[in-house]
Amino acid sequence: MNPLLEEFSTPYSTPPFSKIKNEHFKPAFEKAIELAKDEINVIVNNAAEATFENTIVALDFSGELLSRVSSIFFNLNSSETSDEIQAIAKEVSPLLSEFSNDIGLNEDLYQRIKSVYEAKDKLNLTPEETTLLEKNYKSFVRNGANLNDADKETLRTIDKQLAQTSLDFGENVLSATNKYELHLTDINDLSGLPEGVIEAAAIIAKEKNKEGYIFTLDFPSYMPFMTYADNRALRKEMAIASGSKTYKGDGLDNQKNVLKIVQLRYQRSKLLGYENHADFVLEEQMATSPQKVNDFLTNLIEKSKSSGLKENEELTSFANDLDQIETIESYDAGYYSEKLKQKLFDLDDEKLKPYFKLENVIQGAFIVANKLYGLNFEEVFDVDKYHEDVITYKVTENNELLAIFYADFHPRPGKRNGAWMSSFNNQYIKNGVNNRPHIVNVCNFTKPTETKPSLLTFNEVTTLFHEFGHALHGMLANTTYPGLSGTNVYRDFVELPSQILENWCYEKEALELFAFHYETEEVIPLQLIEKIKASANFMEATRMLRQLSFGITDMAWHTTNIEDIESVGDFEKNAMKATQIYPHLEETCFSTSFSHIFQGGYSSGYYSYKWAEVLEADAFEYFSENGIFNKEIGEKFKEFILSKGGSEHPMELYKKFRGQEPDNDALLRRAGLLNVSV
């Protein structure tokens, strides 16, 4: 028996991970695709006139088994992968791409959807029903329904190649990340590194049966090294290793994959009648067009560039006084920024980390969710896990089950870098039953050592709150249709729930709920809270320019004809020129490991982090003016932002929450850049 094809007779119908074997996945995919095709055939072959219920609703609820198998498999491929799972991914991805095209290019299905769409004004639909209808109709049109047969076949071929090349890209990034290690045996090379960082490096070495200390490109190992290591040559080595990991011309090089993905996306967009891939993507986003995105990014660059250059002058002067460094390189920035921050604010992560024990920060996020939205979290031990590191919780509201929450916080082999939210089961209402979601947060935080628990840097604290904000978006989903539920929203709206929650990490009223010293249980001192607040905008222009450089590079890749691109490295360097602060390291190229846009779902969408930051800065001003735990505003945010998913246009939802459109200057006010000119 294949457990993936059976009803889950588990607590809360959660996936029975201990029973699922790798060999179950491909047969499960094949069977699920077969069943999904049968469901589509039922819709297409229905002799009755096409209606909203028998066509649009039926389509949205089709493929339930396939969705379940896919969510389990691809979550594991990100957080618990292996050579075998990656091989399966290569086999099933083309099958999924072909199935998706079978639906999108099904002429009979499209005609039924089109007939319902053309009659929409007579159907007296609710806003949610109207949104679902328009989303389905546009999806078919935007994915080739109006193409001729020959072009439809071309589209199929392109989509298969895209699926495969994106997988290859991601596998190369993961393999190259895991391949590198900086093995140190001389204690002098550890100068400047905090005790906990050294201890963690010793544990990694021990796990690899080696003497001394090993540092890797995993974020909890890489970032502290780049921030604290006194040895400049080793910082440079690590920076080059990170920036060149898939840019070396070896078997893990991604330059050809980048060019192929960009070329295929460009061809696809032209085939569908768009100027370029960005034009295609942004038609269905709040930003609406590449011109609007580039204007948005350029405006922020202009507002932050002069401040960024000034910050660099101050940092260079400081480094020169300290170590006779005349030019700050990229591998110096974190190191000297940390030292300057310590000088200006007497604040560094080593002073803060004792107050941010992982378990306490998790509870802090739960308390904030309780005070804002009335949620309760209880750890449960009867839910099957895909790895022993995972912690599982039952989430309730007024004693009613709201969600199951999986928390997976530490790096390990087979787990990709970064932090993300996903789900094993989405929310929807079917036959009067509200199917509640199973949500997962995956992060890569500092591991416990033999002498200390997992103590988070402040950046890790805000990352936890960020991803938990996404999780709340999934947990609080309350729509009828799965296609509109939870995070199924415009890409430039999806970061609002995550980014706004980071603000609570800077507030005294919130910090005093969870920031306790791991040894003394003393609450974080007021003076440290004041320093956190005071340092919030430290090097803000430089940070903003870095983020903007990613957004503008993403847009460059997806608005340029591939025939005009000769070199991946040169193209990237030119795209980033307007945001450049530090000299370019010639050995490095960011694009070849830019997983967000070449493997994830952020192509032509990386700008959305800044776009959503404008929304959340404006939204948090609303909270700040009325109290950060204001119940009324919390309920409004819950009702109109977190629960509604993509059931209405995001601007309409935002206005229902805020009472007005967002003030674009809110972000600049918070960053202290409003009155800065070039």
Residues labelled as active-site residues: 467
Amino acid at 5: L
Task: Compute the 3-state secondary structure of the chain and give helix, strand, coil in percent, each to the nearest 5.
Answer: 60, 5, 30
Q: What are the start-end ranges of the H helices in 558-593? A: 568-575
Residues 6+ apart with CB under 8 A from 536: 506
Distance, in Å, from the CA atom of 35 to the CA atom of 47, rounded to the nearest integer, reads 20
CA distance 395 to 374: 10
CB atoms within 10 A of CB 290: 21
Distance between CA atoms of 554 and 556, rounded to whole angstroms? Answer: 5
Q: Cβ contacts of residue 524 below 8 Å, gap of 6+?
A: 355, 511, 512, 515, 516, 517
CA distance 523 to 485: 39
Question: Dihedral through CA 497, CA 494, CA 598, CA 423, nearest 10?
Answer: 70
Instruction: Return the biggest CA–CA distance within the chain.
Output: 82
DSSP string, 329-368: -HHHHHHHHHHHHHHHHS--HHHHGGG-BHHHHHHHHHHH
Distances (CA, A) of 79 to 165, 244, 250, 442: 20, 23, 25, 7
For residue 6, the cross-strand partners are: none
Helices (H), 455-587: 458-475, 491-494, 496-501, 508-511, 526-534, 540-557, 568-575
- Alpha-carbon span 326 to 312, nearest angstrom: 11
**Structure token digits, residue 330:** 């990229």
Angle between helices 107-118 and 22-44 (to 10 degrees): 60
Instruction: Find out whether 378 and 394 touch, Cβ atoms under 8 Å.
Output: yes
Could you tell me how many residues make up the chain?
Answer: 678
Dist. CA 369–CA 377, nearest whole Å: 9
The torsion angles phi and psi of 214, rounded to 5 degrees, stand at -125, 130
